[in-house]
């Protein structure tokens, strides 16, 4: 397959993921709204899990075809890009994004940073941990960490005053029933899965055709395409004025992405997944954790903007993202 064909098919799959990912998140949000689920479920769980579905499908597919570098690179790269989305939202916000967000996002970012550091530690020490069947202990710990993070965030939401965007969303979804949303959700999910399943095969072909390392291809190209739903959904939420929903989607997606590594490990037959990938991914995982810390600093300190809509927080996120991808290259 020629490089032009690979790039064309890759672009087509990315376009399908953008369109179907946005619709999938829309219907998932309708289901959350109609079923009476709370704001935490809508942002951190419902929306984050469906927008991270491409990462799940891509990671499993890459693991099945024995491409662990693509699987790990996609997850870590997606976390990097997701956090960069917050910088973009800050640029689009008339006032500082981090000054208008609720405190629960500080907890989400902190838990995400800890899980990403766990990913880095798991990669660097994977060969020293016991393996259960063929799944490494670090993967099981990360999955448990995701469950703990979600429970902590939901409990926080239940015990603190909430200022959500539910009224806006309820008006937006007044025309669609719960059953109608469920059927549309399932149909859109099938389309998205079909498109995302082709990404690892195309990424491996792209790496072979260009001579680039699979880890770099996974961290940059595959990660960008599978993170497009998060970008599209966050921008759609911003258009609704639902800034907290947009931030919850991004930070919740990072938590879910870490859990996906454990799922990928279950489908990887070459032993523990984290032991089979390059230590470069540990460095990029630390970079993603550093970006999470920058987000936390922005949420706590709420620094003033330098000029126009450019803030120190946005510049920090962009700088670390650029350095991480340069290192991966």
Degrees to nearest 5, angle at CA 257 with 251 and 261: 155
The neighbour count for residue 163, using CB atoms within 10 Å, is 9
CA dist 183 and 264 (Å) reads 28
Stated pTM of the model: 0.81
Burial degree of 221 (CB within 10 A; 0-12, 13-18, 19+) = buried
Strands (E), 41-157: 131-132, 135-136
Q: What is the pLDDT of residue 219?
A: 65
Which tens digits make up the pLDDT trace of 107-146? 999 999 999 999 999 999 977 887 777 788 888 999 999 9
CA dist 294 and 109 (Å) reads 9
Report DSSP letters for 244-296, one per residue: HHHHHHHHHHHHHHHHHHHHHHHH--SS-GGGGS-THHHHHHHHHHHHHHHHH
> For each of the chain's 329 residues, which pLDDT tens digit applies?
788 888 898 889 888 887 887 787 678 777 766 766 555 556 667 677 777 878 888 888 888 888 888 888 889 988 999 999 999 999 888 888 888 888 889 999 999 999 999 999 999 997 788 777 778 888 899 999 999 998 898 888 777 755 444 444 455 566 778 788 888 888 888 887 788 777 767 777 777 787 777 667 666 777 777 777 788 778 877 776 778 878 888 999 999 999 998 899 989 887 788 988 889 899 999 999 999 999 999 999 887 787 778 888 999 999 999 998 888 76
Contact (CB, 8 A) for 169 and 239:
no
Question: What are the domain boundaries of the chain?
Answer: 3-328
Q: What is the pLDDT of residue 163?
A: 46
Structure tokens at 202: 């195309």
Q: Tell me: domain 3-328, CATH 1.20.1420.30, correct? A: yes
CA dist 214 and 204 (Å) reads 7
Q: What is the pLDDT of residue 174?
A: 67
Which tens digits make up the pLDDT trace of 259-311? 998 899 989 887 788 988 889 899 999 999 999 999 999 999 887 787 778 88
Q: What is the pLDDT of residue 225?
A: 73
Q: What is the pLDDT of residue 203?
A: 73
Nearest to 314 by CA among 89, 101, 70, 117: 89
Q: What is the pLDDT of residue 170?
A: 52
Structure tokens at 265: 């490990």
Q: Is 89 helix (H, G, I), strand (E, B) or coil?
A: helix
CA dist 259 and 263 (Å) reads 7
Structure tokens at 84: 């960069």
218's CB contacts (< 8 A; 6+ apart) are: 62, 69, 70, 71, 72, 73, 74, 77, 203
Burial degree of 4 (CB within 10 A; 0-12, 13-18, 19+) = exposed
Degrees to nearest 5, angle at CA 145 with 144 and 149: 120
Contact (CB, 8 A) for 13 and 195:
yes
The neighbour count for residue 96, using CB atoms within 10 Å, is 18
CA dist 266 and 60 (Å) reads 9
Q: What is the pLDDT of residue 61?
A: 84
> Exposure pattern of 39-58 as b/e (b: 16+ CB <10 Å)?
bbbbbbbbbbbbbbbbbbbb
């Amino acid at each position: 397959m020629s490089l032009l064909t690979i790039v064309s098919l890759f672009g087509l799959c990315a376009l399908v993921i953008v369109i179907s990912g946005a619709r999938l998140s829309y219907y998932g949000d309708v289901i959350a709204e109609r079923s009476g689920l709370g704001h935490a479920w809508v942002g951190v769980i419902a929306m984050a899990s469906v927008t991270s579905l491409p990462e799940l499908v891509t990671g499993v597919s890459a693991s099945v075809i024995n491409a662990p570098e693509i699987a790990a690179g996609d997850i870590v790269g997606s976390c990097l890009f997701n956090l960069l989305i917050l910088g973009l939202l800050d640029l689009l916000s008339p006032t500082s994004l981090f000054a208008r967000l609720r405190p629960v996002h500080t907890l989400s970012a902190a838990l995400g940073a800890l899980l990403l550091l766990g990913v880095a530690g798991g990669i660097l020490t994977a060969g020293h941990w016991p393996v259960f069947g063929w799944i490494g202990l670090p993967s099981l710990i990360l999955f448990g960490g995701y469950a703990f993070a979600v429970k902590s965030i939901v409990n926080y939401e239940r015990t603190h005053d909430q200022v959500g965007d539910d009224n806006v969303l309820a008006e937006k979804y007044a025309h669609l029933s719960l059953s109608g949303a469920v059927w549309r959700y399932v149909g859109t999910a099938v389309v998205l899965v079909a498109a995302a399943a082709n990404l690892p095969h195309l990424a491996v072909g792209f790496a072979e055709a260009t001579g680039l390392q699979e880890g770099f291809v996974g961290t940059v190209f595959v990660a960008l395409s599978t993170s497009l739903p998060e970008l599209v959904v966050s921008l759609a939420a911003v258009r609704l004025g639902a800034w907290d929903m947009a931030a919850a989607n991004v930070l919740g997606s990072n938590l879910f992405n870490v859990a996906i590594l454990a799922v990928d490990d279950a489908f990887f037959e070459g032993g523990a997944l984290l032991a089979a990938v390059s230590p470069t991914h540990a460095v990029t995982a630390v970079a993603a954790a550093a970006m999470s810390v920058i987000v936390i600093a922005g949420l706590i300190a709420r620094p003033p903007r330098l000029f126009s809509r450019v803030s120190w927080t946005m510049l920090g996120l962009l700088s670390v993202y650029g350095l991480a991808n340069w290192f991966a290259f």
